[in-house]
Amino acid sequence: MTQIATQPAAPAPPQQGLAGGTAAQRRALARRHYFTGTPGRMRIASAVAAALCVAFALAGFLGLRGVDGAVDRASANTEQVVRVRAIYADLLAADAAVTNGFLKGGQESAENRKTYDDAMQRVATNIAAAASAQPADGKALAALNAEVQAYAGNVDRARTYNREAKPVGAQYLRIAGTELRAEGLPIANAIAEANQTRADQELKLSGYSGLVVGVGVLTLGVLAAIAIWLARRTHRYLNVPLSAALLLVATALAMSISHIAQVSSTMNKVADGDYRAAVSLAQARAAAYDAKANESLTLIARGSGAAYEKAYDASVALASQQLDDLLQADPAQNNLRRTFAAYTDTHRAIRTADDGGDWNEAVDLATTPDTETASSNGAFRAFSTAADGVLDSKLKSIVAAFDRIGGGLLPLLVGLGAALAALLAGRAMSKRIEEFR
Q: What is the predicted pLDDT for the residue at 183? A: 94
User: Is residue 25's pLDDT more than 60?
Assistant: no
Q: What is the predicted pLDDT for the residue at 230? A: 81
Q: 3 pLDDT band (50/70/90 cuts)?
A: very low
The more confidently predicted of residues 103 and 94 is: 94
The more confidently predicted of residues 156 and 432 is: 156
Q: 42 pLDDT band (50/70/90 cuts)?
A: confident
The more confidently predicted of residues 374 and 394 is: 394
Q: 1 pLDDT band (50/70/90 cuts)?
A: very low
Q: What is the predicted pLDDT for the residue at 254? A: 95
Q: 24 pLDDT band (50/70/90 cuts)?
A: low
Q: What is the predicted pLDDT for the residue at 238? A: 77
Q: What is the predicted pLDDT for the residue at 433? A: 57
**Across residues 222-230, what is the average pLDDT?**
89
User: Is residue 431's pLDDT more than 70?
Assistant: no
User: Is residue 12's pLDDT more than 70?
Assistant: no
User: Is residue 217's pLDDT more than 70?
Assistant: yes
Which of 3-17, 140-154, 399-413 shows the highest mean pLDDT? 140-154
Q: What is the predicted pLDDT for the residue at 313? A: 95
Q: Which pTM value belongs to this model?
A: 0.76
Give the least confident one: 130-134, 163-167, 367-371, 399-403.
367-371
Give the least confident one: 33-42, 179-188, 351-360, 416-425.
33-42
SS3 track for the chain: CCCCCCCCCCCCCCCCCCCCCCHHHHHHHHHHHHCCHHHHHHHHHHHHHHHHHHHHHHHHHHHHHHHHHHHHHHHHHHHHHHHHHHHHHHHHHHHHHHHHHCCCCCCCCHHHHHHHHHHHHHHHHHHHHHHHHCHHHHHHHHHHHHHHHHHHHHHHHHHHHHHCCCCHHHHHHHHHHHHHHHHHHHHHHHHHHHHHHHHHHHHCCCCHHHHHHHHHHHHHHHHHHHHHHHHHHHCCCCCHHHHHHHHHHHHHHHHHHHHHHHHHHHHHHHHHCHHHHHHHHHHHHHHHHHHHHHHHHHHHCCCCCHHHHHHHHHHHHHHHHHHHHHHHHCHHHHHHHHHHHHHHHHHHHHHHHHHCCCHHHHHHHHHCCCCCCCCHHHHHHHHHHHHHHHHHHHHHHHHHHHHHHCCCCHHHHHHHHHHHHHHHHHHCCHHHHHCCC
**Across residues 95-110, what is the average pLDDT?**
81
The more confidently predicted of residues 343 and 403 is: 343
315-325 confidence digits (pLDDT tens): 999 999 999 99
User: Is residue 243's pLDDT more than 60?
Assistant: yes
Q: What is the predicted pLDDT for the residue at 2? A: 44
**Across residues 47-62, what is the average pLDDT?**
92
% of the chain beyond a pLDDT of 70: 86
Which of 11-15, 66-70, 289-293 shows the highest mean pLDDT? 289-293
Q: What is the predicted pLDDT for the residue at 111? A: 84
User: Is residue 271's pLDDT more than 60?
Assistant: yes
339-377 confidence digits (pLDDT tens): 999 999 999 999 999 999 999 899 888 888 765 556 888
**Across residues 123-135, what is the average pLDDT?**
93
